[in-house]
Amino acid sequence: MASPTATSETNAGFVRRDDHRTFIRLRGRRLGRPDPGITRALTYLMSAAVHAITAAIMAAAIVVVAIWHDTVLGWLFGAGLAAVALWSRPRAVRPPGGAEEVSRAEAPTLFEVADRVAHAAGVAPPATVYLHDRLFACAHLRVGVRRRPALVIGLPLLLTLTPRERAGMLAVAFSEDVGGDPARGLLVRSALLTAGEWRHALLSTRVERYRPTGDAVIDNVWFPGERIGSQLIGKITGAVLGWPLFLAEFALTRLLAGQSQVARYYADQVAARAVSAVLRYLDALTMADGRLTPILSAARRGASIDEIRCAVPLSGDVDREAVIARREASSARRTWRDLAPPLALRAALLEEGDAQEGSTGIDEAESDRIDAELSHHLARTVRTLSQSSP
Q: Is 355 left (phi over 0), alpha (psi -120 to 50) or beta?
A: beta
- Per-residue pLDDT, 130: 94
DSSP three-state, residue 132: strand
Residue bearing the bigger pLDDT, 207 or 229: 229
- Per-residue pLDDT, 9: 41
pLDDT at 205 over 60: no
Residue bearing the bigger pLDDT, 204 or 320: 320
The strand order across the sheet containing 100-102 reads 100-102, 128-132, 148-154, 138-143
Q: What is the rounded CA–CA span in Å between residue 27 and residue 322?
A: 23
pLDDT at 236 over 60: no
pLDDT at 234 over 50: no
Least confident of 161-170, 171-180, 250-259, 315-324: 315-324
Q: What is the rounded CA–CA span in Å between residue 264 and residue 244?
A: 29
Sign of the four-CA dihedral 380, 386, 387, 390: positive
pLDDT at 255 over 80: yes
Average pLDDT over residues 297-320: 68
User: Can you list the alpha helix ranges (DSSP code H) found in 204-224?
Assistant: none
User: For 61-95, how does the pLDDT look when each residue is reduced to its tens digit (9 = 90+)?
Assistant: 899 889 888 888 888 888 888 887 887 777 778 88
- Per-residue pLDDT, 51: 86
- Per-residue pLDDT, 353: 66
Which residue, among 193, 181, 182, 147, has the nearest Cα to 50 in the 3D structure?
193
Least confident of 28-37, 54-63, 199-208, 266-275: 199-208
Contacts of 208 (CB under 8 A, 6+ apart): 218, 231
- Count the neighbouring beta carbons within 10 Å of the beta carbon of residue 130: 21
pLDDT band at 389 (very low <50, low <70, confident <90, very high): low
Q: What are the CA-CA distances from residue 262 to residues 35, 138, 174, 338, 354 (Å)?
A: 10, 20, 16, 14, 17
- Percent of residues, the chain, with pLDDT higher than 70: 75
Would the pTM of this model clear 0.85, i.e. be above it?
no
Average pLDDT over residues 282-308: 77
Contacts of 294 (CB under 8 A, 6+ apart): 311, 312, 313
Determine the angle formed by the axes of helices 343-352 and 14-26, rounding to 10 degrees.
Answer: 10
Instruction: Choose from 179-188, 195-204, 217-226, 234-243 the range with maximum mean pLDDT.
Output: 179-188
What rounded mean pLDDT belongs to the chain?
76
- Per-residue pLDDT, 347: 83
- Per-residue pLDDT, 317: 55
User: For 3-61, how does the pLDDT look when each residue is reduced to its tens digit (9 = 90+)?
Assistant: 433 444 433 444 567 777 777 777 777 777 777 788 888 989 988 988 888 888 889 88
pLDDT band at 208 (very low <50, low <70, confident <90, very high): very low
Q: What is the rounded CA–CA span in Å between residue 338 and residue 335?
A: 6
CB 70 within 8 A of CB 210: no
Residue bearing the bigger pLDDT, 205 or 116: 116
Average pLDDT over residues 259-282: 88
User: For 329-376, how does the pLDDT look when each residue is reduced to its tens digit (9 = 90+)?
Assistant: 666 666 767 787 888 888 888 877 665 677 788 888 898 899 899 988
User: For 88-115, how does the pLDDT look when each residue is reduced to its tens digit (9 = 90+)?
Assistant: 777 778 888 888 999 899 999 999 999 9
Determine the angle formed by the axes of helices 288-300 and 278-286, rounding to 10 degrees.
Answer: 70
- Per-residue pLDDT, 13: 45
